[in-house]
């Protein structure tokens, strides 16, 4: 196939995957294959995607430094103008410019270009993660500092859970207020942007409310249908838990129901829902190339609770 960058670059991308999955001489050969295939695609199509990858793979495959830098300079000089482009197209051009600067050891301009890219397409976290993974490969190969990349990390996903408590016997006011501060601190300090969990009375709802308040997406995973869940895990605990549950559900970005069988035990459904919530957080973290977190309100004096089980499963 000729004159089609995506198809011509497919073999190069597969060779790159093999380079990353192997070691020693085998890995180096896959890296050389990838660099050559990307360069062939670039020579045929003049696409900057294949061009910048031919330069980066040349570095990773230990090709001479002058080849790496000449390819990076050429792409830098021939990148298309960014006027009147979609945010996504603008992102990839500026991210490519940043990668060129990185290959040329110009960290200052790499940071400037990457910041421009992120500012024009701020919510394209999957693309951000791909760029950052590429930049880490470059810096690791150069044995250079990677700490500056942390400022560009996407928000982290988190699984959340905690103990149910009766509205008539809540934690003391000082403990409750301290709990709210600690939850908000955890969300902010860990840059949590996505929360995955259930909405039982007590800790679940309290954490969910703080996630929403801090601007994070709430993804609700229930062990049974909403009406059934309310009657078993929300309404019996009194107070205003039911309207607070409803408010969280209304503001949730997504909802999953794990009601797999009318014969399933309630405890098994809760375990399944918890595992799915943890899995969703981990998958989101893998997608964004960041480490998923777990936010729990856990009373260590309560043995064999569902929350302590979630903590053990997470570890």
- Return the pLDDT at 206: 96
Summarize pLDDT for 204-215 with one digit per residue, the tens. Answer: 999 999 999 999
pLDDT band for 169, please (50, 70, 90 cuts).
Answer: confident
**CA torsion 249→254→256→257, rounded to 10°?**
30
Indicate the angle between helix axes 226-233 and 241-251, nearest 10 degrees.
150
Mean pLDDT of 194-213: 96
- Nearest C-alpha neighbor of 19 from the set 4, 30, 33: 30
- Return the pLDDT at 143: 95
- Nearest C-alpha neighbor of 295 from the set 209, 174, 170, 167: 209
Residues 247, 233: Cα–Cα separation, whole Å: 16
Summarize pLDDT for 105-144 with one digit per residue, the tens. Answer: 999 999 999 999 999 999 899 999 999 999 999 999 999 9
Mean pLDDT of 72-80: 95
- Nearest C-alpha neighbor of 294 from the set 312, 273, 269: 312
Asked if residues 120 and 94 have their Cβ atoms less than 8 Å apart, the reply is yes
- Return the pLDDT at 266: 78
SS3 readout for 68-106: HHHHHHHHHHHCCCCCCCCHHHHHHHHHHHHHHHHHCCC
Q: What percent of the chain has pLDDT over 90?
A: 80
Q: Would you say residue 262 has pLDDT above 70? A: no
Q: What percent of the chain has pLDDT over 70?
A: 98
Q: Which structure tokens are listed for 54?
A: 């031919």
DSSP one-letter code for 236? G
pLDDT band for 203, please (50, 70, 90 cuts).
Answer: very high
Cα Rg, the chain, nearest whole Å: 25
Residues 264, 268: Cα–Cα separation, whole Å: 7
Q: Would you say residue 261 has pLDDT above 70? A: no
Residues 30, 19: Cα–Cα separation, whole Å: 5
What is the value of pTM for the model shown? 0.80
Mean pLDDT of 225-238: 93
| Range from 52-66, 185-199, 287-301 carrying the lowest mean pLDDT | 287-301
Q: For all residues of the chain together, what is the average pLDDT?
A: 93
Q: In terms of pLDDT, which residue wins out, 245 or 168?
A: 245
Give, in order, the Cα–Cα distances in Å from 2 to each of 44, 57, 282: 7, 21, 39
Q: What is the number of other CB atoms lying within 10 angstroms of the CB of residue 288?
A: 22
Q: Would you say residue 304 has pLDDT above 80? A: no
Please list, in sequence order, all residues whose beta carbon lies within 8 angstroms of the beta carbon of residue 249, skipping any fewer than 6 positions away. Answer: 199, 220, 226, 255
Residues 182, 175: Cα–Cα separation, whole Å: 10
DSSP string, 149-167: GGGGPPPEEEEEEE----T
């Amino acid at each position: 196939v000729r004159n089609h960058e995506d198809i011509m670059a497919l073999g190069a991308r597969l060779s790159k995957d093999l380079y990353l999955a192997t070691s020693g001489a085998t890995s180096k050969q896959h890296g050389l294959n990838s660099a050559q295939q990307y360069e062939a695609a670039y020579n045929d199509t003049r696409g900057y995607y294949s061009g910048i990858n031919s330069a980066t793979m040349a570095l990773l495959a230990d090709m001479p430094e002058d080849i790496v830098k000449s390819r990076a300079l050429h792409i830098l000089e021939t990148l298309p103008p960014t006027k009147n482009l979609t945010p996504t197209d603008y992102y990839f051009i500026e991210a490519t410019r940043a990668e060129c600067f990185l290959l040329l050891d110009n960290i200052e301009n790499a940071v400037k270009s990457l910041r421009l890219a992120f500012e024009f397409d701020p919510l394209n976290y999957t693309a951000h993660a791909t760029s950052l993974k590429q930049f880490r490969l470059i810096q690791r190969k150069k044995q250079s500092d990677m700490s500056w990349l942390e400022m560009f990390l996407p928000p982290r996903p988190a699984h959340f859970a905690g103990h149910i408590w009766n509205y008539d016997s809540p934690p003391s006011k000082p403990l409750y207020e301290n709990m709210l501060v600690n939850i908000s601190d955890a969300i902010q300090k860990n840059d949590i942007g996505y929360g995955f969990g259930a909405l039982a009375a007590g800790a679940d709802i309290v954490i969910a409310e703080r996630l929403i308040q801090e601007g994070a997406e709430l993804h609700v995973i229930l062990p049974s249908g909403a009406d059934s869940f309310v009657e078993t895990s929300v309404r019996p605990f009194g107070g205003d838990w039911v309207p607070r549950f409803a408010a969280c559900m209304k503001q949730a970005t997504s909802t999953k129901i794990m009601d797999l069988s009318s014969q399933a035990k309630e405890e098994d459904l809760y375990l399944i829902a918890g595992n799915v919530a943890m899995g969703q957080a981990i998958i989101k973290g893998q997608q964004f190339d960041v480490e998923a977190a777990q936010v729990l309100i856990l009373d260590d004096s309560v043995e064999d609770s569902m929350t302590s089980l979630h903590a053990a499963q997470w570890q």
